[in-house]
C-alpha cells in the first residue's frame, strides 16, 4: 500500500533510507524546517538550510520516485532569540513562494517561554497575513499539555485562523482531544520514548475516529524511525482494521490536508 509521510526530516536521512522508504510504498514526504541540534552562527545559516529543503532534498527524493515538499519556519528550539528570529522572519516570504513549499512550519513552543511565544506570534502573523497553511510543533513530555493549550489560545485569539488548514502535531492521549474538538487536524508522531508508539496511535484512532488525523514519523537526527508509518500500517492491519481504513489514515487524510496548500500539486 502506498503512503505519505506528512512530517519527516529528510535532511537527516541517508540515501539508503530513501530507497527503503520508496520500496515500502512512500510516494510523498513533507519536511518541516527543524533545529540542527546546535546554535546557528547567523541568519545566513537558516537561508542555506531553507535552500537545502527546497533545492537539494527534492532532488534526492526524486531519485527514488518520492515527491518532496517543505514547510518553512523557525523551530521552537531556535525561537528564544527574538531579534535573531525577526531577521529570519523578514526573509521567509521569499522562501514561502518557492514552488514546493507548503506553508509555515514547524513552529510552536518548546519550553513555553515569553520569548518563544513572541517569536511564534510573529510567525503566525506572517502565515495568516499570507493565507499560508501552518504546522505546529507541540512541546515534549511535561510541557506538552501546557504548550498545546498556549498554542490553541494564540490561534483562537486571531479571527483569521482557518482551523481546517492547521495541523497541531505531536499530539498524545491528553492533547489530541483538545486539537480535534477545536476543529484542527491532529498529528500523531510515531517516535520512541517521547511521543507515541504505533499501538497507541491505533488506540487513539479507534477512540476518536479517523477524521482529521495524520500519522507521521518525524524521523530526524535523533532516535527515530523513517519506516514508522509502515510500522503503523502493519499494526493497524494486525489489530484487524481493513485496508480501506488504513489507506484513509496514511494516504487519503494527508492528501486532504496537504492539498489545501497552493503549491501541493501531487496527483
Partner 1 sequence: MSTPLTAAEMLDREFLTFRAKLVDLAAALDRIDRAEGSVDADPRIDQLRRGLELLASPGDRRAERMQMAFSLPDEPTVAGGLSS
For the window 69-88, what string marks contact with partner 1 as x by the rule CB under 8 A? --------------------
> Closest separation between CB of residue 140 and partner 1, Å?
11
Q: Which region among 40-48, 60-68, 85-93, 154-162 touches partner 1 (by CB under 8 A)?
A: 154-162
- Cell for 193? 520514548
Of the pair 53, 202, the CB lying nearest partner 1 is at: 202
Q: Distance of CA 82 to CAs 36, 149, 157, 158, Å?
A: 18, 22, 21, 21
Q: Contact region for partner 1 (CB under 8 A) — 24-32, 113-121, 160-168, 223-231? A: 113-121
For 214, the enclosing helix (H) or strand (E) is strand 213-216
150 is an interface residue for partner 1 by CB under 8 A: yes
Query: What does the block give as the cell for 11?
Result: 535532511
Peptide bond into 32 cis (omega under 30): no
Site for partner 1 in 169-198 (CB under 8 A): 172-175, 177-178
Query: What is the contact mask toward partner 1 in residues 223 to 242, using x (rule: CB under 8 A)?
Result: ----------------xxx-
Distances (CA, A) of 195 to 179, 223, 266: 16, 11, 29
Query: What's the distance, CA 195 to chain centroid?
Result: 14
Bridge partner residues of 135 (DSSP): 167
Judged by the rule CB under 8 A, the positions of this chain that interact with partner 1 are 112-114, 117, 141-146, 149-150, 152-154, 156-157, 172-175, 177-178, 200, 203, 205-206, 209-210, 239-241, 245
Amino acid at each position: 500500500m502506498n503512503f505519505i509521510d506528512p512530517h519527516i526530516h529528510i535532511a537527516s536521512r541517508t540515501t539508503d533510507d530513501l530507497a527503503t522508504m520508496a520500496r515500502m510504498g512512500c510516494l510523498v514526504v513533507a519536511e518541516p524546517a527543524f533545529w540542527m541540534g546546535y546554535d546557528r552562527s547567523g541568519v545566513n545559516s537558516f537561508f542555506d538550510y531553507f535552500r537545502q529543503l527546497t533545492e537539494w532534498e527534492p532532488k534526492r527524493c526524486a531519485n527514488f520516485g518520492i515527491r518532496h515538499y517543505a514547510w518553512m519556519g523557525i523551530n521552537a528550539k531556535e525561537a528564544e532569540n527574538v531579534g535573531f528570529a525577526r531577521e529570519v522572519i523578514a526573509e521567509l516570504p521569499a522562501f514561502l513562494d518557492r514552488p514546493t513549499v507548503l506553508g509555515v512550519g514547524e513552529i510552536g513552543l518548546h519550553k513555553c517561554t515569553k520569548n518563544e511565544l513572541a517569536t511564534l506570534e510573529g510567525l503566525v502573523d506572517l502565515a495568516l497575513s499570507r493565507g499560508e497553511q501552518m504546522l505546529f510543533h507541540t512541546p515534549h513530555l511535561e510541557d506538552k499539555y501546557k504548550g498545546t493549550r498556549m498554542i490553541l489560545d494564540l490561534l483562537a485569539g486571531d479571527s483569521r485562523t482557518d482551523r481546517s488548514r492547521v495541523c497541531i502535531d505531536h499530539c498524545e492521549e491528553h492533547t489530541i482531544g483538545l486539537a480535534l474538538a477545536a476543529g484542527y487536524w491532529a498529528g500523531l508522531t510515531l517516535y520512541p520514548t517521547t511521543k507515541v508508539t504505533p499501538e497507541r496511535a491505533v488506540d487513539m484512532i479507534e477512540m476518536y475516529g479517523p477524521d482529521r488525523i495524520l500519522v507521521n514519523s518525524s524521523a530526524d537526527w535523533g532516535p527515530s524511525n523513517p519506516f514508522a508509518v509502515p510500522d503503523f500500517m502493519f499494526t493497524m492491519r494486525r489489530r484487524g482494521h481493513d485496508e480501506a481504513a488504513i489507506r484513509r489514515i496514511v494516504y487519503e487524510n494527508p492528501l486532504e490536508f496537504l492539498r489545501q496548500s497552493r503549491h501541493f500539486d501531487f496527483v
